[in-house]
Amino acid sequence: MRHSIRNRLLGTTTCVLVIFLTLTGWVLDQSFRSSVTAGAEEQLRLVVYSVMGAVEDEGGSLQVGEDLSEPRLSQPDSGLYASVADDLNGALWISPSTTSEVNFDTGAAEPGAFVFAESAQPLPRYVLSYTVIWEGADVERVTFSAAVDQAPFAASIGQFRRSLGVGFALAMLVFVVAQILSLRWGLRPLRVMADEVQALESGDAQTMQDGYPRELQGLANNLERFIEHEQRSRSRYRNALEDLAHSLKTPLAVIRNTLIEPQVDRSLLTEQLERMESTVTNQLSKASARGPMVVGKPVDIGLQVERLVRALQTAYIEKGVAVSLVKEASPLVRGDESDFLEIFGNLAENAFKYTSSQVSIAVRREHDEAVVSVQDDGDGIPEDLRADVLNRGKRLDEIQPGQGIGLAVVAELVALYSGSLEISESELGGAQIEVRLPC
């Protein structure tokens, strides 16, 4: 079942609160009930002491005087009762407040020990008994008992429970309202992000806003990069198709006109077919570049360059090129591995192709950029032609095989990754091409 985060959090915290308040209420209720019971026991203990203080020994017979310190013992049905009994004759004295049946039995007890019990019959009462050995009396074992109605104590416990329930209910209400408000405020960035994503889906917006909390800023940045990546991809596909259609117009027209002629110029047809093949290859290469990836494992640029150098050393083994590869750091760039192979493969292959005997490649990281510098000791690239070699089909050397699109593809891919490409003079005397890509 799909539920909103707010409802999940609210439901979870409410359940936890209910359980917590229930347990807390039960603990408080038990504590208050124990306190009330302890208070009743203490009250009965004082009554027993007062009755014991009023006992007089008259020739071995125990008599309880009328001057009792507890007035309620003299008031009929006052709710407080007392009795004095021995093992033989039973009750020796019962307080005047006892006008109805009162059960003073608390069970067997050892002398000198208080026994506290709850009696349910005939009415709920607390009963306390204390047995002593009275020397000189006809029966030495005498039990002093006191009882009190539970009704006032039960009323006190009931009032406490009602107050506790009302208090906890109000506390829960306040907490739930506060939780709703806090969740509404805390989850507002998620609602804003959801609204922005919906606006992006409907085409009402093109970018994400800034100012998200730290926990969501990474997600917002990834969404922004994903949007930019998709926009660049659509633009690249559209431009590639337009370029392809435009580039094929002239060769197709030439072929059509050539076929109309009585004498077909096969060399011209071959030239135009090769041109069309080159155009299709170029546009497919341009459209297939993936560009920066929003998710995925970052690519180790230094490792890619090292593999390319080993492969080119094998391919150009007859040339005996001395290669210097320096990796000051191994920067990681998030993107498609085939794009990086295309970029650095073209640069390294050009260096091996046009060098006299030395190639120097350096890989390092500067701040948040991966920097790869490729140098050779060849003829170099004149300063006034450095911009031209980045155009498709423009070649400075017509002897070496190729179509003149390598550096153009590199430039397009580097631009796709929001990087930079710079051509300068090498310390070895040839050309130096430096590529910077954001990590």
pLDDT digit string (tens) for 348-394? 888 988 888 899 999 999 888 899 999 999 888 888 888 877 765 44
**CATH, domain 299-438, list 3.20.20.140, 3.30.565.10, 3.20.20.70, 3.40.50.300:** 3.30.565.10
Q: Any bridge partners for residue 359, and if so which? A: 323, 376
- Residue 13: what pLDDT? 87
DSSP H/E element including 80: strand 80-86
pLDDT of residue 400: 43
Q: Are 319 and 352 in contact (CB under 8 A)?
A: yes
User: Which range has the worst mean pLDDT, 23-32, 65-74, 76-85, 149-158?
Assistant: 65-74
What is the per-residue pLDDT across 188-239, written as a single tens digit (0 to 9) for each? 888 887 788 777 777 676 677 777 777 777 777 777 777 777 777 777 677 6
Give the per-residue SS3 of 226-284: HHHHHHHHHHHHHHHHHHHHHHHHHHHHHHHHHHHCCCCCHHHHHHHHHHHHHHHHHHH
Report the range of poorest mean pLDDT among 15-19, 223-227, 425-429: 223-227
* Average pLDDT taken over every residue of the chain: 80
Of the candidate ranges 60-74, 130-144, 244-258, 371-385, the one whose mean pLDDT is the lowest: 244-258
How far is 170 from 176, CA to CA, in rounded Å?
Answer: 10
pLDDT tens digit sequence for 261-313 = 676 667 767 777 776 776 676 666 666 555 565 555 788 988 889 888 888 88
Taking 80 as the threshold, does the pLDDT of residue 60 lie above it? no
Question: Is residue 207 a contact partner of residue 223, using CB atoms and an 8 Å limit?
Answer: no
Could you report the per-residue pLDDT of 315-345, keeping only the tens digit for each? Answer: 788 888 898 999 887 788 888 787 888 888 8
> For residue 146, what are the contacts with CB-CB under 8 A and spacing of at least 6?
44, 47, 48, 51, 80, 81, 82, 83, 127, 128
Model pTM above 0.75? no
Beta bridge partners of 146: 82, 128
Percent of the chain at pLDDT above 70? 82
Cβ partners under 8 Å of residue 104, min gap 6:
81, 83, 85, 127, 129, 145, 147
Regarding predicted confidence, which is higher, 41 or 56?
A: 41
- pLDDT at position 283: 64
